[in-house]
Structure 1
């Protein structure tokens, strides 16, 4: 199935409020734009305020009224998430979906050389934060007639191998958490599923594959339409599942790629 940013029905998310965590990253930004194109109002959550502001202005130009909620997932507490949920409720009156697109990746490093604090940070941002955010927003999601939580996963065949460290471990944990949430909410209005994109051009991938030629893979917006699909009522077909949609152009000719291991990897939340 081909699913790109241009394919969602214009009214697929009409009247819905969607929270995009990691809206300052490549995929999060693309998803926010696609949600607005599909009729949703979006709450942009991230830690890079200037980038969020630029996205906000672009969405306003599209005729939307987005909201910005600055939050650093690495340092956020349960109280911070509770306050976030309360403010979204006050400002928007409802919440119909969450996209967990934020990710912490410090770079490819052997586990033997990984600092414990960096390992813990990856688990916190990539697993604990999505758990706490979902938990805080669950009462609002339950009040909606139909709502969705979408986790963004990575290919276990790749990140379950050498050097992927805390990021790789966290993506396995996130997959398990998605399944637990989906099972617990099976008989509720809250649909839980996961999007597992194929390779795409993001800052995270550039850190991992430093010598990969630009343009080897599609941009992140190639998968934004698939995320809208999971958020919409049509996403019920993927409830409790991990979906890897086929994207036209996602299978370029094979390119020899070497993996560079940085001596002092730089981190960040994408």
Structure 2
């Protein structure tokens, strides 16, 4: 699998894909790529204005998307159940979920991390991702190729794992969640996989690295094709696995 490969045909034609964190770097790039691959994309994010910009970019290249503003910080399991019910009622299906939403305040020693910041990172980067997935699994199970893809970071790659706090711990937990959930769903249930991109030039990474010294970082769009592949039928080979890209 290559993060820079070109899309060959409508790999997601007729599919409905929910992009969580659609206004972010990887989320917005993946939303456009999924639309180019034929998917109807549901754009979930916290702020309406950035979502509207992604909406315009997606609509220009594929089926008209849907907006779903939701702040994961305050969202409860009931909110995610309502999301799944609305998707079922309005679209009648859900074929894929791509988790790109993330919370990271910056590099801080655990000893000095604000408890609220720690809890917020664990919630957005792990708990909310699972609650949303749990709510959507029954709908995904109705699809002939339902897939959940977790974008997972590896803060220790190329350096020390120190100072990444709740964000770093949540990434490690997701790496455990992927094979655990797939083992429980079995080979005939929805597919679960993780995508571990290389360093990306995003706002989140900018909180930890200075742009002029972070020469390894690539545009998030370089990894959008890999998101499409994992969400499509071609991603079946990666069931229960975490795909790591350079």
Q: Does 1:192 align with 2:192?
A: yes
Offset of residue 146 of structure 1:
1.1
After superposition, what is the alpha-carbon deviation per residue over 1:208-247, rounded to whole angstroms, capped at 9, x for unaligned? 103544765220010010011111111011111110134x
Please name the residue that 2:179 is paired with. 179
**Aligned-partner SS, 1:157:** coil
Please name the residue that 2:163 is paired with. 163
Please name the residue that 2:236 is paired with. 236
Equivalent pairs counted in the alignment come to 245
**Aligned-partner SS, 1:208:** coil
Please name the residue that 1:17 is paired with. 16
Q: Which runs of 5+ in 2 are unaligned?
A: none
Q: Contact 1:160 / 1:169 at 8 angstroms: preserved in 2? A: no
Q: Contact 1:145 / 1:189 at 8 angstroms: preserved in 2? A: no
Please name the residue that 1:109 is paired with. 108
CA distance in 1, matches of 2:213, 2:162: 22
CA distance in 1, matches of 2:160, 2:74: 27
Q: Contact 1:206 / 1:212 at 8 angstroms: preserved in 2? A: no
**Aligned-partner SS, 2:168:** helix
Q: Does 1:204 align with 2:209?
A: no
Please name the residue that 1:35 is paired with. 34
Q: Does 1:223 align with 2:223?
A: yes
The equivalences for 1:53-68 within 5 A come to: 53-68=52-67
RMSD: 1.6
**Aligned-partner SS, 1:143:** coil
Offset of residue 105 of structure 1:
0.3
Q: Contact 2:100 / 2:150 at 8 angstroms: preserved in 1? A: yes
**Aligned-partner SS, 1:99:** strand
Q: Contact 1:156 / 1:172 at 8 angstroms: preserved in 2? A: no
**Could you say if the C-alpha distance between residues 140 and 160 of structure 1 is closer, same or farther in structure 2, counting changes exceeding 3 Å?**
farther
Please name the residue that 1:118 is paired with. 117
Which has the higher mean CA deviation after the structures are superposed, 53-62 or 218-227? 53-62
Q: TM-score, normalised by structure 1?
A: 0.87
CA distance in 2, matches of 1:211, 1:17: 35
Q: Contact 2:154 / 2:168 at 8 angstroms: preserved in 1? A: no
CA distance in 2, matches of 1:43, 1:211: 31
Please name the residue that 1:259 is paired with. none
**Could you say if the C-alpha distance between residues 72 and 160 of structure 1 is closer, same or farther in structure 2, counting changes exceeding 3 Å?**
farther
Q: Which runs of 5+ in 1 are unaligned?
A: 247-270
Q: TM-score, normalised by structure 2?
A: 0.95
Q: Contact 1:144 / 1:189 at 8 angstroms: preserved in 2? A: no
CA distance in 2, matches of 1:3, 1:71: 29
Please name the residue that 1:129 is paired with. 128
CA distance in 1, matches of 2:174, 2:117: 17
